Amino acid sequence: MSSTAVANRKIEYSESENRKALIAVKAHLILGLAVLLLMMLAGLTMRAVQGTWLEIGADLFYQIMTVHGVGVVGAAGIGSTGVLWYFLRQYVRLSNTIFWINFFVFVAGVVMLLGSIFLGGYGGAWTFLYPLPGKSMGVWSTGAAAVFQLALLIIGTGFLILYLDMGRGILASFGSLSKALGLPQLFGRVPVDTTHPPTVVAGTMVLIVNFLGIAVGAVVLVMGLINLYNPEFQPDALLMKNLIYFFGHVFINATIYASVTAVYELLPRYTGRPWKTSKVFYAAWFAIVFMVMAVYPHHLMMDFPMPQWALIVGQVLSFGSGIPVLVVTGYGALMIVYRSGIQWSTTTKLLFLSMFGWAAGVIPAILDAMVTVNRVFHNTMWVPGHFHFYLLLGLLPMMFGFIYHLTGEGRQGEQPKAADNVGFYAYLIGAFLTSMVFLASGASSIPRRWATHMAEWVTFAQVGTVAAALVVLGMLVFTFRALFSLPKAAEPR
Amino acid sequence: MALIAAVFCFVLVNSKKVEADYSTVTKKWYGIRGKWFFFLLTLGVIITYLSLSPFPIPDQKKGYQENEYQVVKVDSYQWYWTMTPNTVEAGKPVTFLVTSGDVNHGFGIYDENLELLGQTQAMPGYTNKLIHTFDKPGKYKILCLEYCGVAHHAMITELTVK
C-alpha cells in the first residue's frame, strides 16, 4: 500500500468513537491547563521569595522548585500529547482506550510525585541529578526520593504504551516509519506528494525520539533506584548526567514538535491556504529526528571531561536545530498568513504568537549553547530565560490556540470577547517580560535555583514577580474559558 | 530577536490585505527562503569557526606545572568549599583542580561586582581543570552553580587575589 494512497484518505470513525475521542482530548487539555496554572502560581511564589516580598523556608522553596519543574514538563507532555493525538488519529487509527490508560497512569504518577514532594519532603529538583536524590543530608528520606523516581518511571511507562499504539497505527496506515516521514519522497524513490500530512511526519518524529528518550530515562531511573537502596552500586556520575539530560532534553523538546501539529492543521483552515509538504519539509523533519537526540551535550559544556567532539556536536547542532524552524515551519507560517485576509481571533493570535515564540526563542538557546558563552551563562538565570521564552511564548500558545479552536471561538466571524482580549495581552506582555527579565538576570550573572538572592539581585526578581503575576492573570482567563466552554463544545467542523 | 520580531510585525501588518493567488506569494517568498537558508548556514559556519578555535576549554589531559601555573585544589561538599591555597597572585594563570566529595556542585568564580568570570562542574569521581588568570587583586567569591540540596544558595566562599 503506498503512502500516497493512504495520505489522501482520512480515517473514518463512527460518531460515537469521535465523541469519545473528543472527550478524552478535552480531559488531557483541561488537566494540562490546570496543572500549568498551578505551576505558574508556584513560579510566581518563587519569584516573590527571591524578590523578598514573601518569606518561606529554603526546604519549602526547593520543594516548590521541584514541583514546578516536574509539573511543567509533565503538563507540557500530557497537553501536547492531547494535541498530537487529536490530529494524528485523523490519519491513523488510534486506540481511545490506550489514550485513557496513559492519562490515568499519568494521574497516578502525579499523585505519587505530590506525595514524595509535599509529604516526603523531596526537593532534589525535577532533574534528579545523581547522586543528589540519595544524598540530601537528612532533608528528605530515601523513600521520598524513591517514590519520586518511581513516579517518573510509571509516567514514562504510560507514555511508552501510548507511543507503541501510535507506532502500530502509523505502521498499519503507512507501512513503515520511513514512509510516514516522507523519506521515499525526499530521496526521489517516489514522486513528491504535497498532500502527505505534515501531522504524520511530525507525529512519527515525536514517536521515534520520545520512545528512545523515555527508554533511556527508564534506564537511568532504575539505576538511581538501585543506588538508593544499595549505595555500594555507584554508577559513573558523568554517565548518569548524560543519560538524564538526553532523556530530559528529548522529552521537553518533543512537546513543541508534537504541539506544532496544531499550527500545521489550523492555520490553513483560518487562512484558506494549504500547508503543503515538500522535499524541504521532509528534509527538515528528517534532520530534526537526529538533531533533537544528538544536541543534548550542550547541557554538559561545563563538564570538562566530556569528549571535545561531543561538545562541538552540541554547539553545532544547537545552531542547526534552529534552522528548520527559522527556514521551514516559522517561515511557512509567515507565508500562509501574509496577505491572507486572516480573521484575527484569540485562536489565530495564539497560533501566530507561538511561531514567533519558537523562532525568536531559538536565539538565546543558540547563544547559551556556544561553549565560550556557556562559560559565563551556564546555570545562570539565562537558562530559565531561554526555556521560559520557548515554553511561554512558543509551546503553550500552540496548546491554548488549539483549546480556543475547540471551544468554537474564531469561526463564523465571531469576535473575541473582551475577557479573552485582556487575557491574551496580559499573557503576552507577562510572558515576554518574564522571559526577558530572566535573560537580563542571566546576562548579569545571577545564578539559577537559588532560594535566597543577594541584595544586588533583588530588583530583577521583583520585576520578574510582577511579570509572572501578569502571566497568571492571562492564564486564569484561558483556564476559565477552557473550563466553561470546552466541556460542552461540539466537534469543530 | 529584534529582526525576527520585525519580520513577524511586517507580516502581521500585511495580513489583512488579500492576495487571492497564493502561488504568487509562495513563488516570491520561496526564492527569498533559499537565500535566507544560505545566509544562516554561512553565519553558522563562521560563528562555529571563530568561537571554537582555539577550543575554549583547557586540555584536561595536560599536566599543568607549578612553575608556570599556580595550582589550587578545590574540594566541594554539601554545603561548603575547601581551597588549598585560598590566596593566589594576579597576572599568573591559576589552575583550579575541582572535584566533589558527595554530589554535583558548580564552581563559579565571581568578581567584586558579582560578575561571573568562569566556571566548571565539580563532580564526584572526576577532577575538572579550570584555568583562569586574574587581572587585578581583590576579594573574589566562589558561588555554587549546580543545585546541590537545601543550602545550595549558602555555598559561598572567598578567594583572595594579591
Residue B143 pairs in a beta bridge with B108, B156
From the CA of B96, how many Å to the nearest CA of chain A? 12
* CB-closest option in B14, B104, B119 to A375: B119
In A, which residues are within 8 Å of B56 by CB distance?
371-372, 375
Band (pLDDT 50/70/90 cuts) for residue A6 is: very low
DSSP state of B149: S
Q: How many CB atoms lie within 10 A of CB B117?
A: 16
Q: How far apart are CA A449 and CA A432, in angstroms?
A: 21
- Round the average pLDDT of chain A to a whole number and report it: 94
Cβ of B44 within 8 Å of Cβ of A319? The answer is yes
Cβ of A339 within 8 Å of Cβ of B102? The answer is no
Is the pLDDT confidence value at A486 over 60?
yes
State mean pLDDT over A481-491.
88
Residue whose cell numbers read 471561538: A409
Lowest-confidence segment of A257-261, A467-471, B24-28 by average pLDDT = B24-28
- Would you list the DSSP string of A142-172? HHHHHHHHHHHHHHHHHHHHHHHHHHHHHHH
The answer to whether the CB of A472 falls within 8 A of the CB of A41 is yes
Under 8 Å CB-to-CB from A459, ≥6 apart: which residues?
A: none
State mean pLDDT over B143-152.
98
Is the bond into B85 cis (omega within 30 degrees of 0)?
yes
Grid cell digits, residue A489: 463544545
Q: H-helix or E-strand containing B45?
A: helix B22-52
* CB-closest option in A139, A370, A379 to B106: A379
Q: H-helix or E-strand containing B96?
A: strand B94-100
Between residues 28 and 57 of chain B, which touch chain A (CB distance below 8 Å)?
A: 29, 33, 36-37, 40-41, 44, 47-48, 51-52, 55-57
Grid cell digits, residue A121: 519532603
Coarse DSSP helix, strand, coil percentages of chain B, rounded to the nearest 5 percent: 30, 35, 40
- Please tell me the predicted confidence (pLDDT) of residue A5: 41
ipTM for the assembly: 0.95
Under 8 Å CB-to-CB from B43, ≥6 apart: which residues?
A: none
Is pTM, for the whole model, over 0.90?
yes
Under 8 Å CB-to-CB from A154, ≥6 apart: which residues?
A: A105, A108, A109, A112
**Least CA distance to A273: which residue of chain B?**
B22
- Nearest 5°: CA angle at A102, between A100 and A107? 95
For residue A408, which of A22, A14, A15, A7 has the smallest C-alpha distance? A22
Percent of chain B with pLDDT over 70: 100
In B, which residues are within 8 Å of A301 by CB distance?
57
Touching check for B70 and chain A: CB below 8 Å? no
Crossing angle of helices A58-88 and A96-114, rounded to 10°: 180
Query: Collapsing DSSP states into helix, strand and coil, what is residue B107?
Result: strand
Cβ of A447 within 8 Å of Cβ of B145? The answer is yes
Cβ of B153 within 8 Å of Cβ of A305? The answer is no
Cβ of B11 within 8 Å of Cβ of A378? The answer is no
Q: Which domains does chain A have, with CATH numbers?
A: 15-488 (1.20.210.10)
User: Strand B94-100 vs strand B138-144: parallel, antiparallel, or unpaired?
Assistant: unpaired
Is the pLDDT confidence value at A416 over 70?
no
In A, which residues are within 8 Å of B60 by CB distance?
304-305
Q: How many CB atoms lie within 10 A of CB A84?
A: 25
pLDDT tens sequence across A251-277? 999 999 999 999 999 999 999 999 989
pLDDT tens sequence across A358-408? 999 999 999 999 999 999 999 999 999 999 999 999 999 999 999 999 998
DSSP state of B159: E
Cβ of B123 within 8 Å of Cβ of A238? The answer is yes
Grid cell digits, residue A378: 551556564
In B, which residues are within 8 Å of A334 by CB distance?
7-8, 11, 29
Is the pLDDT confidence value at A307 over 80?
yes
